[in-house]
Structure 1
Amino acid sequence: MKYPLFKLSAIGILSSLPVLSWAETEQSMVDKQHSNLKSTLHAWANSIDNWLGEPDPNKPASATLRIMLDNQWNRYDGYSIKPRVRAKVRLPALKRRLSIVIGDEDLDNQAQDKNQISPNYREPLERNKRYDRRQARNDNSSLALRWSDGIKNWGIDTDFDIGIRSGADIFARLKVSKEWKHNETYSTRLEQIYRYGLNSKHYLRTNFENKFVQNENTFINNHTYIDYRNDLVETSIWGNSLYREHNFAGYKRLNYGVSIGGDIDKKRVSLNYYGPFVTWRQPILREWLFVQPEVNFYNNRKLERKHTLGAFLRLEAVF
């Protein structure tokens, strides 16, 4: 059977077009939604920056958004899940750098120590309770204006926040940090955070780390923190993690080391838990979508728990 000329042409055109599978179509739609949201965030940031002052074309406003889903499991507490959000809008129109920060504040408090995401840092949920809606809402409902400045002569960086958290807790927060580079491979960093809220009262955290850089992709770090809270109940905890970090191409990262920590009660320091951990982080499917699994082997003397395997998994989308 002979095909007319126009039929042969149509068949030739169709056969030359790329065939998109359902999965590819879904992925392209996801990328489009990601791009649209990212563009919207930057447009909002530039609109606010333009309203505040004369924008600089060489230093445009910007916005970042992190959406996380933390999953953790051990045989004592079972499985639990917690959503976390952190957003930052940078507004360089003012002489002092102004930004808006939204979401879970603990992500900033732990920013320098990538390994304080283990179950021992947070109080476990009640038995057989997988999700605490009230806790997730209170932790993520924070909005603040941040002024970032520094004392250049002393090499000190400062952040001052004023805002509202947990629905009705008006607060002020100050972070002061300084880094000493002793030589090309060894450095020390000290960070002090203080927050006072009308409802949450006093919060104080000290971060202290010593870093030894082996090469451009590998370093050894010892991070110590003290965390004090006076929210109805006065609590103080401490922790230390000694780990080695390897950074690979494609935003991949490997951490392994030992973490210890405990309580501080009436100036008495106790050792509550200790054990090793291994953490891996890499993009999955997309450059902006990350997966971060962790395996650890901790005990808990306070709850009379022996060493047991624990697992943690963070899924994170960056916009």
Structure 2
Amino acid sequence: MLEQTRTKVRGLTVWLGETVNDWFGDRPFEDGGEVTHGRLGLRLLWRQDEGWDTNVRLRARFDLPNLRDKAYIFLGRQNERELVTDQPETFTREQQLLEERRKEDQSGFIGLGYALRRNIDLRAGVRGGYKVYAQARLRKQWALSVQDRIEFRETVFWTVKDHFGSTTSFNYEHAFTPALALHWQNAATITKETDGFAWSSSLGLFRQFGDQRVLSGEIVATGETGMRDKLSEYGVRVKWQQPVYRDWLIGELIAGHFWPKGDEEPEREQRWAVGANLEMRF
């Protein structure tokens, strides 16, 4: 059943790629076209005092021959705010074990991207049926040594509601051994709606056991610089990831203990949270 489901999902996306490719010229999709970064995910979340929450995410990229190699189509379904601001995966609501504020926050999207250079691309798309957004993205990596690596990402985005905004992320990785590494990850987003900038940071150890099996433990924190209490939440989370079926059905279990505090709340609360994610790669 899993094989059939994956084959049907893959077949549907290839058909869609062929259809869209034909809009732009006569080169057939088989002439260099492909579907990449295909992901279909299901999340189940429980957070203390908030109960259960579920959602489905989808994303895929289509490299189309008629767009002359550098351009591509992307589509999917995910948190609308995270899509527009280009939040790193580490700081998505899914990974922070936060429920969606509203079901409307999850929306479908489709867009066109163009690789201006190897590490710069421009993207424009529509999400939620009719809301337009645009992005310019820069990604750069440096190897400081055999054991140390840093990554810088900058995304400038525009929407009708927010006008211009940006998300900056900086990540540092130190490898103690080929299987054990320290990750320090940071992101800051500025929009018309944020007080100052919204920031997130995590520090943790990641241990690989081969065959996509990874165990991690992290200290995480989020906040906004313009708020009265600049640290809105901090906590710890532990995550285990491994293949469930072959190498394309990946299971993930996350557990965390957090201390959130609203701007109008006198004291911090304590919250336990558990999340289970199942992702099909196609």
User: TM-score scaled by structure 2?
Assistant: 0.83
Change (3 A) 1:215 1:95: farther
Report the Cα distance in structure 2 between the residues aligned to 1:239 and 1:213, rounded to whole angstroms. 22
Q: What's the counterpart of residue 229 of structure 1? A: 191
Q: What's the counterpart of residue 61 of structure 2? A: 88
Preserved contact between residue 96 and residue 149 of structure 1 (Cα < 8 Å): no
- Cα deviation, 1:285-310, whole Å, max 9, x if unaligned, reads 45322221111111012253333321
Report the Cα distance in structure 2 between the residues aligned to 1:119 and 1:216, rounded to whole angstroms. 25
- Deviation, structure 1 residue 36: 3.4
Aligned-partner residue type, residue 255 of structure 1: S
Structure number, greater radius of gyration: 1
Q: What's the counterpart of residue 307 of structure 1? A: 270
Q: Check if 1:185 corresponds to 2:152.
A: no
> Gaps (5+ residues) in structure 1?
1-26, 126-131, 152-156
- Cα deviation, 1:59-78, whole Å, max 9, x if unaligned, reads 44234432222222222222
Q: What's the counterpart of residue 124 of structure 2? A: 162
Report the Cα distance in structure 1 between the residues aligned to 2:256 and 2:97, rounded to whole angstroms. 13
Report the Cα distance in structure 2 between the residues aligned to 1:57 and 1:142, rounded to whole angstroms. 25
- Deviation, structure 1 residue 134: 2.0
Computed over aligned residues only, the root mean square deviation of the Cα atoms, in angstroms, reads: 3.0
- Cα deviation, 1:254-276, whole Å, max 9, x if unaligned, reads 2212111211217x881222222
Q: What's the counterpart of residue 45 of structure 2? A: 72
Q: What's the counterpart of residue 160 of structure 2? A: 198
Q: What's the counterpart of residue 242 of structure 2? A: 282
- Cα deviation, 1:34-61, whole Å, max 9, x if unaligned, reads 2233134235435644754657978442
- Cα deviation, 1:100-142, whole Å, max 9, x if unaligned, reads 111236369344x5464457585764xxxxxx43222xxx321
Preserved contact between residue 46 and residue 273 of structure 2 (Cα < 8 Å): yes
Aligned-partner residue type, residue 179 of structure 1: Q
Equivalent position SS for 1:251: coil
Q: What's the counterpart of residue 169 of structure 2? A: 207
Report the Cα distance in structure 1 between the residues aligned to 2:129 and 2:249, rounded to whole angstroms. 30
Q: 1:316 aligns with which of 251, 261, 279?
A: 279
Q: What's the counterpart of residue 45 of structure 1? A: 17
Report the Cα distance in structure 2 between the residues aligned to 1:174 and 1:254, rounded to whole angstroms. 33
Q: Check if 1:143 corresponds to 2:120.
A: no
Report the Cα distance in structure 2 between the residues aligned to 1:96 and 1:47, rounded to whole angstroms. 17
Q: Percent of aligned positions with the same letter in both sequences?
A: 18
- Deviation, structure 1 residue 166: 1.9
Q: What's the counterpart of residue 72 of structure 2? A: 99
Report the Cα distance in structure 2 between the residues aligned to 1:36 and 1:124, rounded to whole angstroms. 29
Aligned-partner residue type, residue 34 of structure 1: R
Equivalent position SS for 2:113: strand
- Cα deviation, 1:192-219, whole Å, max 9, x if unaligned, reads 1121112343332111011112333332
Q: What's the counterpart of residue 104 of structure 2? A: 134
Q: Per residue, is there more helix in 1 or in 2?
A: 1
Preserved contact between residue 169 and residue 200 of structure 1 (Cα < 8 Å): no
> With CA pairs under 8 Å and 6+ residues apart, which has the higher RCO, 1 or 2?
2
Q: What's the counterpart of residue 231 of structure 2? A: 271
User: TM-score scaled by structure 1?
Assistant: 0.74
Q: What is the number of equivalent residue pairs in this alignment? A: 273
- Deviation, structure 1 residue 93: 5.1
Report the Cα distance in structure 1 between the residues aligned to 2:91 and 2:34, rounded to whole angstroms. 31
